[in-house]
């Protein structure tokens, strides 16, 4: 957990600013605008920078928040404090609606989709009679507490910055939790997150709602600062600008959103006030200069200004070690040792004209190590994908403990106690090893997003991190626990994936080329670990090209060639099988 001390210092600073003698009122106006913009940008950080969902439509949600309170306080005389939850609920509900249609889009279609609703909603705001069409709604009451009416920019300043700081805290709490790890995994694609039980459409919808509620909060504050609303600030152009702000500040960082807002609001103001003095009569030239400056800034700090600034601080590689005495509940095991854990029967997978897996059958018993070998392109990884539900078989069937799981999605397969690693490592590089591994325990935790934001998840969280730490120690990476996963060697990253898979408390572990990139000593340690796991009752199915490693480790070997099983047996029989020698091992083996 990160220290919250810097936030307290920041909050104290912001609280002191209005009391600085001689503070120009104009600066306070500027800070109000920065705060309002920061709220929207913070939502985009979560949505775009962390979740990988690009949205050009965020300004529309500011509009929902602003128009909700504008309408209800003027036409129906409701108190602004009563309309606050309503503004947030309206923004949130519309995010569910727009999110449900948009989040399933991928690639370029998602940003285009958000742009489309950004444009559409702008026209809706400007055409609806009860929202005042292009003139909007005016005479909105100010916020007030008792007889204190927040009429000046200096008085609503506190409301705005309390909102910014609380939102930053809640957002950071969310990111630093079970749900937050699921959200942060989204950017690396669905496959890895889903393999550990994350319901990715739900996680995406959640960030959509979170971002929309923050935008709605900004809109609510805006309406009571300006005391009038019209459609202009809620159009697609504003939506593009918000995204830009998040990117300039550093789209992966909550404080990047705040910093980006400060940079852009101040830069715009400076250009608007000083450029006409340098270049009189030049009209729109500030827009051009503004654009050039921002592009230059992004050249200097391509990941955004916040991470660029942070890179000057010493890197944190140490952290608090979780209390490993805390335990999660273990999976109930079926009695007896002679169970057929996994049964693959005539599984077939065709990609167009290529038959990647051709009527392959084999079994894995409880407590044995089975190796799946064969030349590149033989269909080994595809077989893994069929077993784990990433792909569904064209025909044939797959059963786990006698139960058919042919059509089950990855989230259901992992619940049955089957976990895996990937041939092409799928870790989140800018998360620590500990955080990455904890994703493996996702299904063994229970805390939801609200509990996480309010820090009511700490007991649950401590157990998840304890489990992750224990598995990291077990695979021998205790010293790297607090390093970013992306900074490890590829071989070590494969081992991190094994620790993540072990966090599932699996009955069957599927390892796709786990020894690739490991040194001799590391391979021996891995072999020892896998033997220990087997002796503890776990089954392992592994794909590996290092024949020395496989022959010494496996109880049984299944050989694939061009998608077809050509042999199965003990290492001794496979070594001497003429067909296997011809297809894969070669004469030298
Ligand atoms: P292996 O892991 O044994 O090297 P794979 O299972 O990755 O082999 O691939 C088997 C065959 O299926 C290859 O010809 C590969 O090109 C093809 N293949 C694998 N995945 C896909 C896919 N998603 N789409 C199309 N073809 C694929
Ligand atoms: Mg493969």
The residue contributing the CA closest to ligand 1 atom 16 is: 377
The CA-based dihedral angle spanning residues 171, 172, 178, 181, taken in that order and rounded to the nearest 10 degrees: 100
Q: Is the CB of 379 under 6 A from ligand 1?
A: yes
From the CA of 422, the nearest ligand is 2
For residue 562, report the distance from its CA to the centre of ligand 1, in Å: 10
* Residue 349 alpha carbon, nearest atom of ligand 1: 12
- The single-letter DSSP state of residue 405 is -
The tokens for 166 are: 């609380």
CB of 322 shorter than 6 A to ligand 1: no
The hierarchical CATH code for the domain 340-417+506-585 is: 3.40.50.300
Between CA 455 and CA 453 the distance in angstroms is 5
> Would the CB of 353 count as within 6 Å of ligand 1?
no
CA distance linking residue 575 with residue 365, whole number of Å: 22
Q: 476 CB under 6 A from ligand 1?
A: no
Per CATH, is 26-270+277-310 categorized as 1.10.10?
no
| Closest protein CA for atom 20 of ligand 1 | 382
Per-residue pLDDT of the chain (589 residues; tens, 9 = 90+): 467 888 999 999 999 999 999 888 899 999 999 999 999 999 999 999 898 888 999 999 999 999 999 999 999 999 999 999 999 999 999 999 998 888 777 778 888 888 888 888 888 889 998 898 888 998 899 998 888 888 888 889 999 999 999 999 999 999 999 999 999 999 888 899 999 999 999 999 999 999 999 999 999 999 999 999 999 999 988 999 999 999 999 988 999 999 999 999 999 888 888 877 777 766 677 778 888 888 888 888 888 999 999 888 877 666 778 888 888 888 887 766 558 999 999 999 999 989 999 999 999 999 999 999 999 999 999 999 999 999 999 999 999 988 899 889 999 999 999 999 999 999 999 999 999 999 999 999 999 999 999 999 999 999 999 999 999 999 999 999 999 999 999 999 999 999 999 999 999 999 999 999 899 999 999 999 999 999 998 999 999 999 999 999 999 999 999 999 999 999 999 999 999 998 887 754 4
- Total length of the chain: 589
- CB 358 near ligand 1, within 6 Å: no
Distance in Å, CA 355 to ligand 1 centroid: 9
Ligand nearest to the CA of 564: 1
Q: Is 148 in the pocket of ligand 1 (CB under 6 A)?
A: no
Phi, psi angle pair for 160, to nearest 5°: -65, -45
**In the chain, helix, strand, coil percent, each to 5?**
60, 10, 30
φ, ψ of residue 556 to 5 degrees: the values are -145, 150
Please name the residues in contact with 277: beta carbons below 8 A apart, sequence gap of 6 or more.
Answer: none
Ligand 2 (ion): which residues have CB within 5 A? Answer: 380-381, 423
What is the distance in A from the centroid of ligand 1 to the CA of 580? 20
pLDDT of residue 478: 95
Q: Which atom of ligand 1 is nearest to the CA of 376?
A: 4
Residue whose Cα lies nearest atom 7 of ligand 1: it is: 381
Q: How distant, in Å, are the alpha carbons of 189, 250, 309, 410, 504 from that of 414?
A: 17, 35, 41, 6, 8
356 pocket-lining for ligand 1 (C-beta < 6 Å): yes
- Secondary structure of residue 541 in the 3-state scheme: strand
Closest Cα to residue 485, out of 420, 418, 438? 438
Atom 12 in ligand 1: which residue has the minimum CA distance? 356
356 Cα to the center of ligand 2, angstroms = 11
* Ligand 1 atom nearest 423 alpha carbon: 2
Cα–Cα distances in angstroms (integers) from residue 452 to residues 178, 447, 567, in the given order: 8, 7, 51
Question: Of the candidates 389, 388, 392, which has an alpha carbon nearest to the alpha carbon of residue 356?
Answer: 392
Q: Is 381 in the pocket of ligand 1 (CB under 6 A)?
A: yes
Q: For 435-492, give the DSSP string.
A: HHHHGGGGGG----HHHHHTTTTHHHHHHHHHHHHHHHHHTT-GGGTTSBGGGS-HHH
How many whole angstroms from its chain centre is CA 133? 39
**Which residue(s) pair with 364 in the sheet?**
342
Output the residue whose Cα is nearest ligand 1's atom 26: 351
385 Cβ closer than 6 Å to some ligand 1 atom = no
Could you tell me the two tokens for 190?
Answer: 């669905």
Atom 19 of ligand 1, residue of closest alpha carbon = 382
Q: Which of 351, 375, 513, 560 to mutate to test the pocket of ligand 1 (most atoms within 8 A of CB)?
A: 351
- Separation of alpha carbons 201 and 206, rounded Å: 9
Which residue ranges make up each domain of the chain?
26-270+277-310, 340-417+506-585, 431-492
Distance CA 251, CA 43 (A): 10
Same fold, 26-270+277-310 and 340-417+506-585: no
- 225 CB burial (10 A radius; 0-12, 13-18, 19+): buried
Give residue 515 CA to ligand 2 midpoint distance, Å.
Answer: 13
Query: Which atom of ligand 1 has the smallest separation from the CA of 357?
Result: 10
Measured from the CA of 560, which atom of ligand 1 is nearest? Answer: 3
Q: Which residues pair with 512 in a beta bridge?
A: 543
φ, ψ (nearest 5 deg) of residue 15: -70, -30
Residue 349 CB–ligand 1 contact under 6 Å: no
Which residue is closest in CA terms to ligand 1's atom 23? Answer: 351
- CA–CA gap between residue 113 and residue 262 (Å, rounded): 28
The pLDDT value given to residue 589: 43
Sequence-distant (≥ 6) Cβ neighbours of residue 75 within 8 angstroms: 130
Of 354, 356, 516, the one to substitute when testing ligand 1's pocket (max ligand atoms within 8 A of C-beta) is 356
Distance 356 CA to ligand 1 centre (A): 6
* Angle formed at CA 36 by CA 30 and CA 38, multiple of 5 degrees: 100
Q: What is the pTM of this model?
A: 0.91
């Amino acid at each position: 957990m990160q220290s919250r001390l810097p936030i307290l210092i920041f909050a104290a600073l912001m609280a002191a600013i209005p009391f600085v003698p001689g503070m120009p009122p104009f600066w306070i106006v500027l800070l109000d605008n920065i705060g309002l913009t920061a709220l929207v940008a913070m939502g985009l950080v979560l949505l775009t920078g962390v979740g990988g969902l690009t949205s050009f439509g965020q300004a529309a949600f500011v509009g929902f928040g602003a128009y909700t309170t504008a309408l209800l306080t003027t036409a129906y005389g409701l108190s602004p404090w009563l309309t606050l939850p309503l503004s947030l609920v309206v923004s949130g509900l519309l995010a569910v609606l727009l999110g449900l249609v948009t989040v399933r889009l991928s690639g370029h279609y998602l940003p285009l989709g958000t742009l489309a609703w950004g444009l559409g909603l702008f026209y809706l705001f400007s055409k609806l009679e009860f929202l005042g069409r292009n003139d909007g709604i005016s005479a909105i009451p100010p916020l007030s507490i008792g007889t204190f009416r927040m009429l000046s920019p200096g008085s609503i300043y506190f409301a705005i910055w309390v909102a910014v700081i609380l939102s930053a805290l809640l957002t950071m709490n969310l990111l630093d939790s079970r749900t937050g790890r699921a959200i942060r995994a989204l950017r690396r694609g669905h496959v890895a997150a889903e393999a550990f039980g994350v319901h990715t459409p739900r996680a995406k919808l959640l960030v959509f709602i979170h971002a929309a509620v923050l935008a709605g909060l900004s809109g609510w504050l805006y309406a009571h600062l300006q005391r009038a609303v019209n459609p202009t600030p809620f159009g697609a152009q504003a939506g593009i600008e918000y995204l830009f702000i998040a990117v300039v500040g550093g789209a992966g960082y909550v404080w990047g959103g705040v910093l980006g807002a400060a940079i852009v609001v101040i830069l715009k103001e400076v250009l608007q006030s000083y450029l006409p003095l340098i270049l009189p009569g030049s009209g729109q030239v500030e827009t051009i200069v503004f654009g050039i400056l921002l592009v230059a800034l992004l050249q200097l700090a391509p990941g955004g200004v916040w991470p660029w600034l942070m890179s000057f601080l010493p890197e944190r590689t140490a952290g608090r070690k979780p209390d490993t005495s805390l335990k999660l509940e273990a999976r109930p095991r079926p009695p007896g040792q002679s169970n057929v854990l996994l049964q693959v029967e005539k599984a077939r997978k065709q990609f167009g004209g290529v038959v990647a897996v051709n009527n392959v059958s084999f079994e894995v018993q409880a407590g044995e190590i089975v190796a799946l070998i064969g030349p590149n392109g033989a269909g080994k990884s595809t077989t893994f994908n069929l077993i784990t539900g990433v792909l569904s078989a064209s025909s044939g069937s797959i059963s786990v403990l006698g139960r058919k799981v042919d059509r089950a999605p990855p989230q259901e397969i992992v619940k049955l106690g089957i976990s895996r690693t990937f041939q092409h490592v799928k870790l989140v590089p800018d998360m620590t090893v500990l955080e990455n591994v904890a994703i493996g325990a996702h299904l063994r935790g229970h805390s939801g997003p609200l509990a996480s934001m309010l820090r009511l998840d700490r007991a649950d969280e401590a157990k998840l991190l304890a489990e992750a730490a224990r598995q990291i120690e077990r695979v021998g990476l205790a010293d790297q626990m607090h390093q970013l996963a992306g900074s490890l060697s590829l071989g070590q990253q494969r081992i991190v994936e094994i620790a993540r898979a072990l966090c599932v408390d699996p009955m069957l572990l599927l390892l796709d080329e786990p020894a690739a990139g490991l040194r001799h000593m590391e391979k021996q340690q891995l072999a020892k670990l896998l033997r220990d796991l087997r002796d503890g009752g776990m089954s392992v199915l592994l794909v590996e090209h290092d024949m020395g490693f496989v022959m010494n480790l496996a109880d049984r070997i299944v050989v694939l060639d061009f998608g077809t099983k050509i042999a199965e047996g003990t290492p001794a029989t496979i070594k001497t099988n003429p067909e296997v020698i011809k297809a894969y091992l070669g004469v030298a083996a």
